[in-house]
Structure 1
Amino acid sequence: MSQSQQKYSLTARIFFGMIAGIITGSLLKLLFDDSGDFTFSVLTLEVSTYAVLVDGIFNVIGQIFIASLKMLVVPLVFVSLVCGTSSLSDPAKLGRLGGKSVLLYISTTALAITLAVSFALIVSPGVGVEMTSQATYEAKEAPSLAQVIINMFPSNPINAMAQGNMLQVIVFAILFGVAVAMSGDTGSRIARFFDDLNVVIMKLVTILMNLAPYGVFALLAKLFATIDLGLVGNLIQYFVLVLAVLAVHAFVSYSTILYVLTRLSPVTLFKKMRDAAIFAFSTSSSSATLPVTLETATKKLGVKNSVASFTVPLGATINMDGTAIMQGVATVFIAQVFSVDLTLSDYLMVILTATLASIGTAGVPGVGLIMLAMVLNQVNLPVEGIALIIGVDRLLDMTRTAVNVTGDCMVACIVAKSEGELDVNTFNDVDAGKQSEEVHFPTEKA
């Protein structure tokens, strides 16, 4: 490993990669016009130069990085859940874990959208905004609640893994783990095999984490070189308001809930969440960030694998706090844009629908916009209004994903503490987990 990698922590290197990517992408956006031509006449570059950098090098590196992370999601979730479930000596404990986790996730989502609607009504971001085009958005049909429950149980678990249907993978892994725990000596041998396999997978996670600065750089360089930042200016009030509510929910709501229920330090939680939050911000995907989130929960926060392997993947699937905040603000914004007056019962319906939809639409492609379409339909607002916010949603999605993964780890800590499965010393140790950030490859002696 180079001296620079030994000098800086993984968090610092990822942060440097993120800043470098934003600067590089922004410079490319300024220097090249929409056609890819260099804007300064003193220097002339072929159109292909821009394409090679943005659509070529940056795109290839970024997509390989995302694919590498997603590659680990299904095996990591399946193996971790089998290990955690098979180690539970008390079958009733699984029910308690599930009940506590789902209750906390639903409660934080309800709180998130309540804050969003309240702040949006106070700020009124849509007042005075006029539509300048006939924007349209075609919403996909959301499944019924009964169908969602049916779809949680896989008819073909191998197919569920191949398609990345996380709810089905989770259900099958739990059932398989319970069967392993009930199979005596045979189950013990299988459990030891999965324990060894889990160690290997986590080592692979560590290796990929050390490549993260390069992947983060490429992803953000491409994003900021191609995104239309002018759209942010047109919707600046909505944009800033969503960011503000996300910050309040993350730093105030999460801090209060964590301290009241566990007496643990929220500051420690946020410090140790830096790596996972940066990953989430860069990838805009809780699923792609899952390997890093699980590593953070177990190695840095001290959550035992028997709890983390259940609560964290479940949170990555159903925890939609950040999305709920977007829905709350967007609903008020769209209502004000179209001059539709919503009643108190309408706002209560928005809160209820978005909270239940956070679980009801889990695993459906385009979940955020589908959920928003469901909410708008419930209060008779035009779904076409979604097109107004699509332009700035990419940047907001990055931030709300960071909030979501922070909520996943907060819930994991609370559940683990209540079950006596949290190593408080590890949680309070500022150096916990740092040794897993580095992978030392053999080097020649000088």
Structure 2
Amino acid sequence: MTSFGWQILIALILGLLLGSLAAAMGGDPEENPNWLMTTLDTIGTSYVTILKAAVVPLVVTAVISSIANLRDVSNAARLAWKTLLWFAITALIAVVIGMLLGVIAQPGVGTGQEQPGTYSGSEGSWLGFLKGLIPVNFLGLETSSKVVDPETVTTAVNFNILQILVVSLVIGIAALKVGKAAEPFLTFMQSALAIMQKVVWWIIRLAPLGTLGLIGRAVFEYGWTSMGSLVKFVITVYVGLLLVAFVVYPLLIKLNGLSVKQFFSGVWPAMQLGFVSRSSLGTMPMTQRVSERNLGVPGHYASFAIPLGATTKMDGCAAIYPAIAAIFVAQFYGVPLTPMHFVLIALVSVLGSAATAGTTGATVMLTLTLSTLGLPLDGVGLLLAVDPILDMGRTALNVTGQALVATIVSKREGILDTRLYDAPRSGEPFKDDAALMEQPAHSGEQGSHAYAPAAPSDGQRTE
């Protein structure tokens, strides 16, 4: 069977060919699309719809479950605060790099595209973004109405992911405070998360079809001139991802007195799976396993930090990507950027990273960033064409950052098993369970913890 990475590549090539064929057949993408264009558009939009449908249950179950795991953690409040602080620090560094690359590389300049007719030229407000964090109802539901003609009004219902995150955090904390009476509820949420992870993996397997439809639609609608600017955009994003992964992360590892080589050899299985699966939540079991087994992060802390990071720690999807993407969209449509725009990009990236929700793609985060900045939302559809290519690198960086923060916090709090972190690696992704059980519980610099064996693994992809 063809590997998943090759399936994505084949789908990308077929999408380019079919999009070119649809363009040669003629027709208008909005008013009079031909049958091939309609088919490609239906495939692409259907895949995006399925992805969005998984976002809400993923956020709710993952956030509540990660908070529930604090039950077994000593100094839980301190560890939680330090984790969130390092999430914010690394996200801020990543978004600054993204903004600098967007300004220097200027990937969207020179396209000659006019501003969309739906664009009002409004400028975003940081106060509006902060107000948007306050839940307007329990489910974070929002409705919008549009007058199609004097006799027709359409109403759409959407979820505000940031508000759902706030509600989930409150519920999770309240469940911890309730204690024993909330145990059945917390057990149910953890089971629901496991089920949702399986559903997400099924959705991931459909990614080649989504790629084919989205890239085909982009070729037909924007033509090869605009597609050339997308290539520059892709290169710029990957430069940012590489800078954070192999310059910023090693520097942070070194500053905390750890071996860079040991970190990357330990986290490598999760990076590989993240690149192929394009899902932080789908990769979460692997990320948690390498954090405990290879990097020496205590199991009781990893069970909190990694699930929380899988929904809120997204240096690729929620920092570098939206920063470069927002600048690209502004340049693509000739919209001038003000200093306030850059402040808002940083603010949204640091506070709004949970909007990515650990699923493939960063559509929700991009929409949030563009709407907060007041930029044309038409750019979302344009960038979806190349999203699968970007999402592989973004997700690999995401899971690396999640393991990095768990490792750094453990080291700084004196609970990291440095002997396990520094153990020689034979090229196998995990230490042998029997050998691990023979080792006595090892004390970190100040704390101690024992390791229980996880399920056997040969380093293959988890499903």
TM-score norm. by structure 1 comes to 0.67
**Closer, same or farther: CA 148–174 of 1 in aligned 2, 3 Å:** same
Q: Is the 8 A contact 1:81 1:170 kept in 2?
A: yes
C-alpha distance in structure 1 between counterparts of 2:171 and 2:290, whole Å: 28
1:415 match: 405
One-letter amino acid matched to 1:219: G
**Closer, same or farther: CA 18–99 of 1 in aligned 2, 3 Å:** same
Q: Is the 8 A contact 1:86 1:177 kept in 2?
A: yes
Please list every run of 5 or more consecutive structure 2 residues that lacks an aligned counterpart in the other structure: 143-156, 254-259, 356-363, 431-456
Shift of 1:325: 1.8
2:168 match: 173
One-letter amino acid matched to 2:346: T
Higher RCO (CA-CA < 8 Å; seq separation 6+): 1
Q: Residue by residue, what CA displacement relative to the aligned partner does 1:302-349 show, whole Å, maximum 9, x if unpaired?
A: 683311232232245982311212344566x579x89x9x9xxx7x66
Shift of 1:82: 1.3
One-letter amino acid matched to 2:367: G
One-letter amino acid matched to 1:104: T
Q: Is the 8 A contact 1:242 1:396 kept in 2?
A: no
Q: Residue by residue, what CA displacement relative to the aligned partner does 1:15-63 show, whole Å, maximum 9, x if unpaired?
A: 23223323333343454555469xxxxxxxxx99x73x6634x666655
**Closer, same or farther: CA 294–368 of 1 in aligned 2, 3 Å:** same
Q: Report which of the two has the higher share of strand.
A: 2
1:78 match: 60
Q: Secondary structure at the match of 1:319?
A: helix
**Closer, same or farther: CA 411–299 of 1 in aligned 2, 3 Å:** same
Equivalence map 1:117-132=2 (5 Å) = 117-120=103-106, 126=109, 129=110, 131=112
Identity %: 15
Q: Residue by residue, what CA displacement relative to the aligned partner does 1:77-106 show, whole Å, maximum 9, x if unpaired?
A: 212221211221422332222222122212
1:94 match: 80
C-alpha distance in structure 2 between counterparts of 1:143 and 1:157, whole Å: 26
C-alpha distance in structure 2 between counterparts of 1:234 and 1:33, whole Å: 13
TM-score norm. by structure 2 comes to 0.65
Shift of 1:113: 0.9
C-alpha distance in structure 2 between counterparts of 1:294 and 1:32, whole Å: 39
Q: Secondary structure at the match of 2:462?
A: helix
One-letter amino acid matched to 1:74: V
Q: Is the 8 A contact 2:108 2:332 kept in 1?
A: no
C-alpha distance in structure 2 between counterparts of 1:151 and 1:413, whole Å: 30
One-letter amino acid matched to 2:102: A
1:405 match: 395
Q: Residue by residue, what CA displacement relative to the aligned partner does 1:95-130 show, whole Å, maximum 9, x if unpaired?
A: 22222212221221012111332344xxx984xx58
Equivalence map 1:148-297=2 (5 Å) = 148-160=129-141, 163-209=158-204, 212=205, 215-228=206-219, 231=222, 233-235=224-226, 238-262=229-253, 263=260, 265-266=263-264, 272-277=270-275, 280=278, 289=279, 291-292=281-282, 294=284, 297=287
2:460 match: 434
Please list every run of 5 or more consecutive structure 1 residues that lacks an aligned counterpart in the other structure: 38-46, 281-288, 375-382, 438-446
**Closer, same or farther: CA 412–274 of 1 in aligned 2, 3 Å:** same
C-alpha distance in structure 1 between counterparts of 2:328 and 2:23, whole Å: 33
C-alpha distance in structure 2 between counterparts of 1:132 and 1:67, whole Å: 27
Bigger mean CA offset, 423-432 vs 60-69: 423-432
